[in-house]
Structure 1
Amino acid sequence: MELYQHLLKLQNAGKLIRVGLVGCGQMGSGMVHITRKMPGMETVAIADVNPERPIETFISIGIPRSEIVVTSNYAVASDALSKGKYLVTEDALLLTRLDNIDAVVEATGITEIGAQVAWNCILNKKNITMLNVETDVTVGVFLSRMARKTGCVYTVAAGDEPAVCKMLYDFSSSMGFEVVCLGKGKNNVINYEASPDSCRAEAESKNMNPKMLASFKDGTKTMVEMAAVSNATGLVPDIPGMHGPKVDLPDLTKHFIPQKDGGVLSKSGCVDYSTGNIAPGVFAIVTTDDPRIHADLRFVSMGNGPYYLFLRPFHLCNIETPLAVAEAAIYGETTVVAKDMVSEVVSVAKRDLKAGEVIGGIGSADIFNRIYTYKDARAMKAIPMGIAPGATILKDIPQGTPLTEDAVAPDTSKFVYQLRKMQDEMLHQSAV
């Protein structure tokens, strides 16, 4: 598909894909710079709790301050965009209603905001691209099915690990290979006690939010990303939390294979990660039962088999996100979506939690998160990660213990809780 040529045609016709961004942090602001350079697309509106961040971002790409309108009033915002000005607002849901915006990118990483923005985009038949994978692994099955019914596109963004893993999965499966394992590189060993305070100095040196960095270090991000891969492909975590060995590139095909052949997996068809020298890459371990294909793979220097490595040695995060926006707008295609709840990300006590305490968000000092199969998580009556923030502890929970329904009371007033309840009912009915 000639995506670049289609974008050039839009540019030459003056019919740009007009993008609204929710969340102007490190990832979101970087994406704005990319859309400024791309043909056929431009970010015209940004919603953030701190209006100064989007204002600074627009100015940094050459937009005069006089061309930036700050408002949460629908009529004023619509008029400003119709006149070619740029919009900054604190009201994320405003972007879902404006006719002057063709697509929205959600980049907050907060499940409550992500659920509200995605749901309202779908109600207004507006394409929504999620840089917020945390929301997707919580309610993505429901959101993607609702989007199909209303005729818009709900998709996880290109560039993040779920998308590039799915790319390798589709590449391999399209040629008839059996995908034994899909995985990613993680550039540090998990520290289950990482907190915003312990990560603050490093986060500030990298211009990151300390809670975001803590969520990387405590393993939450890896669990979320591979759960999204699992729900999109049907591949499963072999054990809770996956294996995560330190394996370097040459040895991936020796470790991420079934135990009967000397590997760590109890079966074929898994998701996992390595703390070896893989990051920022992703990989697929594949095999085939056809002797001729084995011979051809040896001929093209892919090794002696029977397992082979397909590698993408990079992922570009927010830099690639606009490609998902473009494919949705031009072709009506998704980049990666949850087909079913195959895996669940479950919250685990990062410290001893006491009755009466209210749980902090992802990356806080209260919880880390671990991937389980959805079946096992339901059997445990575990609390999904996406509805844990803001929940109240009903009885003491020792450090390292998964949060369960008998010990935790989620905040039932949150929209993401209501959406998750509808998703659970939908999945239960389809299973009956």
Structure 2
Amino acid sequence: MELVRKLKQRQAEGNPVSVGLIGCGQMGSGLAHTINNIDGMTVRAIADIDPQRGIATFREMGVPRDAICSAETAGQLQDALAAHRVAVTPNAELLTQAETIEANVEATGVPDVGAFIALRSIENRKPIIMLNVETDVTVGAHLNHLARKTGALYTVASGDEPGVCKMLFDQAVLMGFEVICLGKCKNNPIDYDMTPQRCEAEARSKDMNSKILASFIDGTKTMVEMAAVSNATGLLPDRPGMHGAKVEIEDLARTFVPREAGGIFAHRGTVEYSTGRFAPGVFAVVYTDDARIRKDMKFITKAEGPYYLHYRPYHLCDLETPQSIAEAVLLHEVTVAAETMHSEVVAVAKRNLQAGARIGGIGSADIYGRIYTYAEAQKQKAVPLGIAPGGVVTRDIAKGEVLSQTAFAPDDSTFIYKLRQQQDEWLVREGRSA
């Protein structure tokens, strides 16, 4: 890859890669600042339900107030961009239509919004880079299929765990190793009872949305991230929810291996997480029985094998996302995307839910996510997490019970529900379901 050279060339030509940003919360605003420090790439427009957040972010980046335009219509947005000014808008769809924006990044974290924006970007042949993994694990396989079919590009971003885990996976495969386990370290044990109210003070101290923080603490984000890894690689959770064992770096290659090798897994090829002390690291446990490769690994790493640890001590979230943008625009390359469904994140009741109740979304006091194999989730008629928000309980559901189609009715008016129906039909029709 020659991304830096190509970006510098774009800068020298006065034609930096033009980026649209949908969602200007913690991740989105951080990405905008990162891009602001990169030669050859620039944020031209920000869409957010609160346009003042976009204005504040541009001002923090040193953009004069009179160079920031408010755009309510496609014409206003196009006029602003043509005049070499930046724009903010509450209407994210406008960014998917703007000719001078070369790629969009979706960073809202709202599954329904992410599905809509991704599809509209694909329909307009505009690369879409997803920091919204919640959308990806729900309808990402279908979106990727549509993008490849039409010559567009859909990808989950580098920097989040799915992107860096996929990097480790590809590197291991290209070195001839069998990937036994891909995983991440979660920096705290799961608290399934966490609510936005309970973590509000902590969220405020970290400048975070309390629902987003709750979804980290209740384990939903970890389940979502590792499901995205599973769907992109074919590796599977060893059991529903994964093991989540507290394992330190030095023991990963002894613990996250098959039982016949003294580990905890019933099968080879897993996704997993640990609550050890190496967060925010990600890892791959790999295997080879080739005597020569084992000899070389002994010489290079001093490890005995045949199981080896490939470890990256960090993932830098939105700070690494510009690499995916550059790869998408300059090379037309995907960072990570699903070809089919291998795993599903299903909705689980966080408390007793009574018939007739309309439930909240991800990170609410009502539900959390748990990873299952896609086959098992289908068998249980489990409701995918991404289509659960706003649905109605049709019979009482006990705390800890998986929401099933026999006891829960999703909101069928949402965009993501309709797209998920299309995905289910496509998978059956093409015989591509796991």
Residue 139 of structure 2 corresponds to residue 143 of structure 1:
no
Corresponding letter in the other structure for 1:264? I
1:88-146, CA deviations, whole angstroms, 9 ceiling, x for partnerless residues?
00001111011121110000110000000000001111110000000000000000010
1:329 counterpart residue number: 329
2:255 counterpart residue number: 255
1:133 counterpart residue number: 133
C-alpha displacement of 1:302: 4.2
Corresponding letter in the other structure for 1:423? Q
Corresponding letter in the other structure for 2:158? A
The CA distance in 1 between the partners of 2:386 and 2:164, in whole Å, is: 23
**C-alpha RMSD of matched pairs (Å):** 0.8
SS in structure 2 of the partner of residue 183 of structure 1: strand
The CA distance in 2 between the partners of 1:224 and 1:52, in whole Å, is: 30
1:261-317, CA deviations, whole angstroms, 9 ceiling, x for partnerless residues?
110101110000000012101000011010111111111124111110000110000
The CA distance in 2 between the partners of 1:286 and 1:356, in whole Å, is: 48
Spell out the pairing of 1:383-402 with structure 2 (5 A cutoff). 383-402=383-402
1:380 counterpart residue number: 380
Corresponding letter in the other structure for 1:63? V
Residue 415 of structure 2 corresponds to residue 415 of structure 1:
yes
The CA distance in 1 between the partners of 2:32 and 2:133, in whole Å, is: 19
Spell out the pairing of 1:92-241 with structure 2 (5 A cutoff). 92-241=92-241
The CA distance in 1 between the partners of 2:306 and 2:150, in whole Å, is: 45
2:340 counterpart residue number: 340
The CA distance in 2 between the partners of 1:391 and 1:419, in whole Å, is: 16
1:89 counterpart residue number: 89
SS in structure 2 of the partner of residue 386 of structure 1: helix
* Native 8 Å contact 1:302 1:309 kept in 2: no
C-alpha displacement of 1:27: 0.3
C-alpha displacement of 1:169: 0.2
Corresponding letter in the other structure for 2:72? S
SS in structure 2 of the partner of residue 413 of structure 1: coil
Structure 1, unaligned runs of 5 or more: none
* Native 8 Å contact 1:302 1:308 kept in 2: no
Residue 371 of structure 2 corresponds to residue 371 of structure 1:
yes
* Native 8 Å contact 1:187 1:279 kept in 2: yes
SS in structure 1 of the partner of residue 286 of structure 2: strand
Aligned residues: 432
SS in structure 1 of the partner of residue 345 of structure 2: strand
Structure 2, unaligned runs of 5 or more: none
For normalisation by structure 2, the TM-score amounts to 0.99
Q: Quick one: percent identity of the two aligned structures? A: 56
Corresponding letter in the other structure for 1:203? A
SS in structure 1 of the partner of residue 348 of structure 2: strand
The CA distance in 2 between the partners of 1:393 and 1:211, in whole Å, is: 21
Using the TM superposition, name which of 64-73 and 156-165 deviates more: 64-73
* Native 8 Å contact 1:158 1:164 kept in 2: yes
